[in-house]
Every structure is written in C-alpha cells, then in structure tokens.
A and B are shown apart, each in its own frame.
Chain A
Amino acid sequence: MNQESARLPNPSTAIGGDGRGDRSDAMLLSVQDLHVWFELKRWGFAHAGYVRAVDGVNFDLRQGEAIAIVGESGCGKSSLMKTILGLNRPIKGDILFEGQKLSELRGRSLQWYRSQVGYVQQDPYGALPPFMSVRRILEEPLVINRVKDGEERQARIVKVMEEVKLFPVDDFLTKFPHMLSGGQQQRVVIARSMILNPKLLVADEPVSMLDASVRVEILKLLRGLQESHNLAVIYITHDLSTVRYFSEYIFVMYAGQIVEKARVNDLLRHARHPYTHALLEATSDPDAKNAEVFKEVPPGEPPSLVNPPSGCRFHPRCPHMMKDLCDVQVPPDFEPTPGHFAACWLYR
C-alpha cells in the first residue's frame, strides 16, 4: 500500500465538491452539481415521475489521476458515466473538460471530445461487433477520425495491440470476437478505447464478467496503461476488494448520490459512512472462518430512485439512524478528517 501512495501523481489533489476543493483550470474533468433524471411515461405519454439516476454529484479529476466509483447496481454509476461520455443529457449541472462545457460542444469539437475519452464497457461479450475482425474493430475509430494514411493506421493498430499484450499481433488481427476468450475480448475493447490516445479512460465494471483468474490481469493492464500514458481513469465497480490495487481515490455512491469520498487507504481503514461500512463488511476474503459467522449487513435493498427516501437516502436501512434528523434532513458533506468527506449526520 505504501508503494501505492508513492505512485500518487499529485498528493495535494483536491477532491472536494461543493466549492470546497481547488477548482483551478488544471482540472481535466470537473463534474458540477450533476443531475441526470429519466422521465417515466405511463401508456407511452403521460408523465409518471422521474428516475433520479444521478442526483447532485460533484467531483474533479486531474490528468493522470485514477478514481474508483463504488456502489450497488442501480445506484446510478453507469448513468453517471454515460453522461460523462456525452450519451445522456443532464437535466441540471455541468461537466467541464479542460475548462470547456460539454453541453456547449458541437460538431468537430464534440468529436474531438469523444476522441479524448476512451470507454471500456461493462460487458465485453456484447461490446464487440461479431462480424468484424480485430483489425477492422481497431481501424474504425481511426477512419472516423480521419487518419488517412493506411501505413500510419497499421502502425497504430500494432502498437496498441502490443500495449494490451495481444501477442502475436498478426494472429489476432484476423480473428473475430467469437474466437477470443473473455479476457482477450476485453483486451480488444481496451485497445479500441486507447487507439485515439485519450486523456481520460472510463472503465465501467471492466472485469465483473470475467473469471477471477483473469480479472487481476486486466486490472494490472489498465493500471500499467494509466501510468505509462499518464491517463486519468474512472473505474466503476461494486467490488471493493479490487479498488485498492487500482485507484488513489474512492467515491462511494448510493441511490444517485456520492455519500463518501476519500483516499483509498483512508477509506478502507477509516470508513465513515454506515453504507461504506456495510460494503466493507459484506466483502469476503477467502478464509475458512467465514463459514462460521454471519455477516452483519443491513437487510433490504436500495431504494427506488423515483421516490427516494426523505432525508438521508440510506436511513431506512441504517443501524445508526437518528429519528427526526436522518429521516427528515438531507445530510450535507461533512469533513471528519481533512480530505475525507462523508454525507452523514454522525459527523456533524
């Protein structure tokens, strides 16, 4: 773990939202008061409320920095990512990339933005077009971005394949996705996301569909790329046991909101938010003693995002719920120790 902190690209990074942190122009990506709601329709037209998939998210990311966003399925992680990728429109709030508002980008500049952001999606098995060879899959983004010289395209394809360790390159160039194992397919997905030399890589549960023995390999590959290219990476997962090998910061998301932000070690050793405690308790290490004890995890399931609970959204499941406070008032971000934020009334 010490090694890991020694690798930190910028130890003084500010992660605070809410105007607390340093918002200088050095930020690569700045997510400000982001709200992404999906309208629910009844009988195809009558308004029936909103799914508040992202409901007030703030964070900043510098060049070369890796963060992890952790939370259960349906908490809004993919919606947040798709908004960053420009695939969803926020109903409120902004995303700034190198100081430019994403909502104001059009045409060429939007295409430029897309080339700056690589995307590794959740399910490698559905990510690759089945009737395209690896060569064509990797060539396509280059063609779209007007790399006209065939030799240059070939050189870039070979280079990126070497970087993701698809050896021997010549053998893989002609293969089709169904001929590849899950791990190899995910390497192709990563190669495709890297081929335009992006500054930011968004990896949405990149290993959750893969075998345990391959997971670590892919995560190490991503970590290596992050370091050698000084990439900023947003790593989305519900598995806390993998984040410590990967990122400097963890943001914990619950029901559309970020409830805790801290450096990895700080969060794993001194988690503050009761939801984070629950996630940690629920995560298993291989140990025969596990079979003898019951885990203390909150019952129930994440709330509906159409009518989220009042006050703290975790209050119906929280063992520390304080009546007339937690169920009524929304907790703001408290900062129990410098740089460690928790949206929980216990730290008022």
Chain B
Amino acid sequence: MTEDRLLRVQDLVLHFRTTQGVVQAVDGVSFELERHEAVVIIGESGCGKSSLARAILRLLPRNVHAYSGKVYLNGTDVMSLDEEQFRREVRWVKMSLVPQAAMNALNPVLRVGDQVAEPTMVHLKVDKQQALQQARKMFEHVGVPVDFLNRYAFELSGGMRQRVALAMALVTAPDLVILDEPTSALDVLTQANIFNLLKRLKRELATGFVLITHDIATSSELADHVAVMYAGQIVELNDAARFFSEPLHPYSQKLMASVPRLRADIEPDFITGQPPSLINLPAGCRFAPRCPSRFAKCDQDPPLFGQGRRQVRCWLYE
C-alpha cells in the first residue's frame, strides 16, 4: 500500500562535524508525499531546512559526521544505491532541486537555453538538438519567452532567472522537485506570478513538490501538507487545511501568531528568545526554553504523538 507513495522519508539524519562540535542539522526526520501534492517545510533560519533537502538528494558536503535513514522513491529504497547508481538513476532524473538563491547561481558565461538543455543531455543522454527542443518547451511552460534561450543570466530580471532555474529542475520530468526558498528574494507581484505557475505545474505534471520556506503566508499558496521544523526535527506534521486554521504545536502557534496579516485585524506577536544551537541542544523538549506551555514532563524528550499525516512532538498531546 505504501509502495505507491511517491516519497517516503524515514528517520533521516545528517550531522556535520565542525571545530566547535557536531551540528545536528537534520535529526531524525520522517514524512511522506504523493504525486500532485506539495509539502511545505517551514521553520526559522538555521533549523535545518536546506540540510534536509541536501540529505534527501545526497548532496553532501565534506564534513559529514553522520548520515543515515531511509528515502523511498516510488517504493524504491534509494539510500541503498551506491553513489554511481544514485547519480545515474535518481538525482536530476527522478528528483531535482531548485537550490536556495538559484537565480543568482546560474552560470554567467553560458546561454540560459544551453543551461536548461544540459540536464537532459547529461542525465537522460539525449542529443543536443533534442535537448534544446525540450528546453524550448520548458521555457514556454514556465513563462519565459523562447527568444530568451540565447540570452545570458545577467540579461534577465530576478523573476525570469528564477523561472529559468525552475525550468532546469523540471526539464528531465522528475517525479519529485525540491524548491528551497524559491521566491524569498523576489517582489510580491513576481512572487505571486511564480506561485501561480507552481500551482499550475502541480496540477498538470504528475510531480510532487517539497517547498522549503520561512515565509508562512506564501507557503499557504502551495501547501497540501505542512511540516514544521525546529532545531533539526519535525515538530508538527499536519494537512494544510487544519494547520493554517489550528496549528497544534506551541511553536507552530507562535510562528502563526508572528505573521503580519493584511486582511485580519490581528496584532502580530514575536517569539521571544532564540532557537538553540544545534551543537549544544538542551535536554528534553528543544522548544522548552521558549515555550509558554512547558511543564514538568518537558524535561524529557517528547516523541511524535499522533499518526500518519497528523503528528506533533509535544507532551501536551500525549
């Protein structure tokens, strides 16, 4: 039954070694995703969102201290593949990434059309002619005029460059696309246009999306499911309809309360204190030092309570 799930992440761990100690950036993360669906991962800066993306795609830096867990894609355990197989069969082919600040990371000396053609040539082994044909189609798909194929990145606006980065991730028709802060650096109108595009793609393509962001308001533009991350762990998993009206975890509630609203007369409130260092994590609940509801039990590590698509890491829900 679970075999037809697009993505299943189980107990994923990614720790980094540094001179100060071990950074527990991803510390036992599990979630699932279907085709035509999007899960958004939200949380404050430094909580491990981008590291989670790297862990899923096995894009690891040199200083890895620990890397473990399971990632199933269409039922296949991709963690058990060796690096060569993973590169040949999974990364870019079945899952791709639009990295944080991708629009600033395009190659300045290559025409953007060639850059979008490259993944299909390298990973799907099609010839240049056909790859350019596909790039052209992808440009139309993401709303970049096709005569931009011959331009360089610096000749494009931020919004257009972000669309090109998106085209690069989609051109191989992957099953899963991970978007790391795709619109954070963009203006509101450009942002809205990109989200319109993502909504359309989610309906049209049999692709699943993992959207990483710290912008809670815009995350609701795409979310079917929400995963809230705090200090390397998921502290709440919920479906979007319930999450945005009634978040469960005290941290999620605080996060939601911090969002300034245009259409409601709610005075936003901020979260006092700072997230813990991922090197020296507090014993017990990691949110306890900032939690208004903490009680005696919170000295112990809370497990995830609840099941399936609705889980919360908090003793209040024991």
Question: Which of A134-142, A239-247, A321-329 forms part of the interface with chain B?
Answer: A239-247
Chain B residues with CB below 8 A from A285, complex form: 217, 220, 259, 261-264
Min Cβ gap B239→A in Å is 8
Q: Are B223 and A297 in contact (CB under 8 A)?
A: no
Chain A residues with CB below 8 A from B191, complex form: 282
Min Cβ gap B84→A in Å is 38
Min Cβ gap B304→A in Å is 22
Q: Are B262 and A295 in contact (CB under 8 A)?
A: no
Chain B residues with CB below 8 A from A240, complex form: 188, 262
Chain A residues with CB below 8 A from B38, complex form: 291
B307 at the interface (CB under 8 A from A): no
Between B189, B193, B200, B243, the greatest number of chain A beta carbons within 10 A of the residue's beta carbon is seen for B189
Q: Which residue of chain A lies nearest to B197 when distances are taken between CB atoms in the complex?
A: A294
Question: Which of A18-26, A79-87, A101-109, A215-223 forms part of the interface with chain B?
Answer: A215-223
B214 at the interface (CB under 8 A from A): yes
Chain A residues with CB below 8 A from B196, complex form: 294-295, 297
A228 at the interface (CB under 8 A from B): no
Q: Are B189 and A291 in contact (CB under 8 A)?
A: no
B218 at the interface (CB under 8 A from A): yes
The residue that A280 contacts in the complex, of B193, B255, B262, with Cβ under 8 A, is B262
B44 at the interface (CB under 8 A from A): yes
Q: Are B188 and A286 in contact (CB under 8 A)?
A: no
Min Cβ gap B277→A in Å is 11
Between B187, B188, B221, B255, the greatest number of chain A beta carbons within 10 A of the residue's beta carbon is seen for B188
Chain B residues with CB below 8 A from A337, complex form: none
Known: A241-B262, A245-B267, A282-B189. Is A288-B214 also a contact (CB below 8 A)? no
The residue that A216 contacts in the complex, of B44, B264, B268, with Cβ under 8 A, is B268
How does the 8 Å CB contact mask read for B82-102 relative to A, with 1 for contact and 0 for none? 000000000000000000000
Chain A residues with CB below 8 A from B10, complex form: none
Known: A212-B215, A283-B188. Is A288-B262 also a contact (CB below 8 A)? no
B159 at the interface (CB under 8 A from A): yes
B269 at the interface (CB under 8 A from A): yes
Q: Are B192 and A268 in contact (CB under 8 A)?
A: no
Q: How distant is the Cα of A215 from the Cα of B217 in the complex, in angstroms?
A: 14
Min Cβ gap A110→B in Å is 34
How does the 8 Å CB contact mask read for B202-227 relative to A, with 1 for contact and 0 for none? 00000000000011111111111000
**14 A–B pairs (Cβ distance < 8 Å), ordered by A:** A181-B274, A212-B214, A212-B216, A212-B259, A219-B260, A240-B188, A240-B262, A241-B260, A284-B218, A286-B216, A288-B245, A295-B196, A297-B196, A301-B160
Residues of A within 8 A of B (CB): 1, 72-73, 181-182, 211-217, 219-220, 238-242, 244-245, 268, 278-288, 290-291, 294-295, 297-299, 301
Residues of B within 8 A of A (CB): 38, 44-45, 157-160, 187-193, 195-196, 199-200, 214-224, 240-245, 254-256, 258-265, 267-271, 274
